[in-house]
A and B are shown apart, each in its own frame.
Chain A
Amino acid sequence: MLAFQNKIGKGYVIASTYVSIAITLLIFIILFWYSFEAFKEIGWDLFTRNWNPATEEYGMLSMLYGTLMVTGIALLIAVPVGILTAIFTSEIIPKQYRLYIKSAIELLAGIPSIIYGLIGIAFFSTWISSWFDLASGRTLLTAGFLLAIMILPTIITLSDDAFFNIPKKYREASKGLGLYTYEVLQKTIWPLAKKNIAGAVLLALGRALGETMAVMLLVGSIDKIPDPFYQVTSPGQTITSKLGREVGESAFGSLHFSALNAIGFLLLLLVITLTIFTQIYFRKKQEVL
């Protein structure tokens, strides 16, 4: 009886592991399989500008540009604001309040992305269009800005942890030398916290790259690179937005569907590479404080 139970137990545990591993691999394999046709037929033409299913042209450059640009804007806004705010919560706020503010910020991180999309359409797109006097508030900038708001809580929380976990002795030693707060942070705290904060930024980057709903509603969904290319107050397209809007419209198994899978696969590669890189980066760091 005992031996039997032992076997079942072991079997269950092994089976669940293999199922979990199989699923992860399956996702990759299936996505690649279904994008294979596009890679074969279209090849390097995938990296052109024109996307037109009717003429079987599938150039994804504008989507790639949009994804990178929107993510870039998000990081540009959220990283400085986030880190500075984290310094505020970890160094300046009295200990009792820190927990409350941190919890409030963490709860913010749990707000579903579609709600950010709603807020974007109801408020931010009109604000941005009147602020910059634009014809439409659905732009790369709007999407980037909203993404920034979405990843801000993550950056704040993790950076705050990074700062908070540095033992008091470092600060006290620096203060004892007569350094200003700024110098204490720059010369002592920052080098120690740097790695963890980098990890937080990478995490936020991963989330920003894969975000669909808010971006889909706000980016304008036009397959074009703005002219001039840095004019982020124009509408554009991202990989996630394209997928969200067109997957339902394409016939399953067609070249169109395969092309969509192809850009999805590229996004997947991008995000997974980032994740694995983050993991290795963190494994190396085993600093003892």
Chain B
Amino acid sequence: MLLIIKTSFMRKIIILSVLALTIFACSEPKDDTISVAGSTTVLPVVSSAADLFMKQNPDSKIIVNAGGSGVGVNQLGSQRIEIGMISRDITKKEISQYPNTSFKTHAIGRDAVVPVVSSEIYNAGITSLTLDQLAKIYKGEISNWKELDGPDKEILVIDKEAARGTRHVFMEIVLGDKEAQAAGADLVLGANNEEQTALVQSDAALGILSNGWLNDDVKGLSIKMPDGTLIEPSLENIVTNKFPITRDLVLITNGTPTGKTKEFIDFILSPEGQEIVVKNGYVGISE
């Protein structure tokens, strides 16, 4: 008897849940949901901007995902999202993989890719490196900080996943090829977050990070130019393009954006949106 009662009780629960599910799944599908995905460098800006935009336009919905610049290109290319976030150029190969998508770029800010070290190394005196030294480290030709007049510790070389925008930009300038392999790499990590965490956890690490992620435990190195001048990764040097490794932060769309997508992009380009860009440690696009 008990079993049968339980059965019909459970049946009721199941039926109710199915009903609830169907009701709320069939409620007006908002076709102007804007899906955004891609670079973790651009993500904080777009995420905050989306929050603000949705407050000001309550009938809009913006869904944001991470994944890296590569994911942004792939998702937009296969037309699953409306806006992709990238912090590098789209490669020729990527364009050829998506012949049905016409990629249109919208720069919304500027940023620098900074070689970063654990604070212990910085405080021990290594505050700048030349591009050539960086190249040697990533190629595996220099492996100990003492070869650079630093403490006697093995360099923990942190690399990024191959399709990440931050990596492309860095490798293009440092190794001459945006998809170059780094034979000297010890770890491969993904998002800017993860990279930052690993740098903090180590006391001898060197990594590639976006300027907006520098903090007390993760110090950005200045680049020593061939003539000896030191260029700091300061916002000024990004604006004037003096820092050798800079890039645009870009939103990409399939063709010219219309409707809510256009409104959102315009919002980010507006003074209010640009304020968000600056608040995250980047440089606005109009400067």
- Within 8 Å of chain A (Cβ to Cβ): is B217? no
Check if B94 is an interface residue, CB within 8 A of chain A: yes
Whether the Cβ atoms of B67 and A54 lie closer than 8 Å is no
What's the nearest-Cβ distance from chain A to residue B44, in Å?
Answer: 19
- Shortest Cβ distance from B157 into chain A, in angstroms? 9
| A249 in complex: contacting residue of B68, B187, B202, B204, CB < 8 Å | B68
Does A254 reach chain B (CB closer than 8 Å)?
Answer: yes
Q: Nearest CB to that of A246 among chain B residues?
A: B161
Residue of A nearest to B70 (CB): A249
Q: Least Cβ distance of B148 to chain A in Å? A: 16
The answer on a CB contact under 8 Å between B156 and A136 is yes
A138–B185 Cα gap in the complex (Å)? Answer: 13
For B74, give its contact among A138, A235, A251 (CB under 8 Å). Answer: A251
Q: Is B201 part of the binding interface, using a Cβ–Cβ cutoff of 8 Å?
A: yes
User: Is A252 at the interface (CB under 8 A from chain B)?
Assistant: yes
The CA-CA distance from A249 to B190 in the complex, in Å, is 11
Interface check A103, CB cutoff 8 A: no
Interface residues on chain A, size class = 20 to 34
Residues of B with C-beta under 8 A to A249: 67-68, 70-71, 74, 161-163
Tell me whether A252 and B185 are in contact in the complex, defined as CB-CB below 8 angstroms, given that A135-B156, A136-B201, A137-B201 are known contacts: no
Q: Is the CB of A135 within 8 A of B202?
A: yes
Contact indicator A235/B187 (Cβ below 8 Å): yes
Q: Is the CB of B161 within 8 A of A252?
A: no
Asked if A136 meets B163 with Cβ closer than 8 Å, knowing A221-B189, A251-B77, the reply is: no
* 11 A–B contacts from the bound complex (CB under 8 Å): A135-B155, A220-B187, A222-B186, A245-B161, A245-B190, A246-B162, A248-B67, A248-B70, A248-B71, A251-B74, A251-B78
Which of these, A136, A222, A245, contacts B159 with CB under 8 Å? A222
Contacts of B162 in A (CB 8 A): 52-54, 246, 249
B97 & A251 in contact (Cβ 8 Å cutoff): yes
A residues less than 8 Å from B185 (CB atoms): 222
- When distances are taken between beta carbons in the complex, the residues of chain A under 8 Å from B74 are 248-252
A252 to B79, CA, bound (A): 12
Q: How far is the CB of A199 from chain B (nearest CB, A)?
A: 32
A-B pair number, CB within 8 angstroms: 79
Q: Main secondary structure on chain A at its contact with chain B?
A: loop
A135-B179 contact in complex given A53-B162, A222-B159, A235-B187, C-beta closer than 8 Å: no
* Residue contact B201 to A125, C-beta cutoff 8 Å: yes
- Write out the residue numbers on chain B whose beta carbons fall within 8 Å of the beta carbon of A136: 156, 186-187, 198, 201-202, 205
B154 at interface, CB cutoff 8 A = yes
Those of B93-124 within 8 Å (CB) of chain A: 94, 97-98
Does B163 lie within 8 Å of A221, measured CB to CB?
no
Are A126 and B201 interface neighbours, CB within 8 A?
A: yes
A234 to B78, alpha carbons, bound, how many Å?
38
Q: Tell me the bound Cα distance from A21 to B77 in angstroms.
A: 34
Bound together, the chains give a CA A252 to CA B77 distance in angstroms of 10
Do residues A135 and B67 form an inter-chain contact, with CB atoms below 8 A?
A: no
Q: Contacts A136-B187, A220-B186, A222-B187 given; 6 further ones with Cβ under 8 A? A: A54-B179, A129-B202, A138-B187, A220-B187, A245-B190, A249-B70
Report if B188 contacts A (CB, 8 A).
Answer: yes
Residues 179-205 of B, flagged 1 when their CB comes within 8 A of A and 0 if not, give 101000111111000000110011011
Which residues of B lie under 8 Å from residue A54 when comparing CB positions? 162, 179, 181
Find the residue from A246, A249, A250 having the highest chain B CB count within 10 A: A249
Nearest-neighbour CB distance to chain B for A190, whole angstroms, equals 42
A37 to chain B, nearest CB (A): 14
User: B147-186 toward A: CB 8 Å interface, digit per residue (1/0)?
Assistant: 0000001111001011100000000000000010100011
Closest 3 CB pairs of A and B: A54-B179, A135-B156, A249-B70
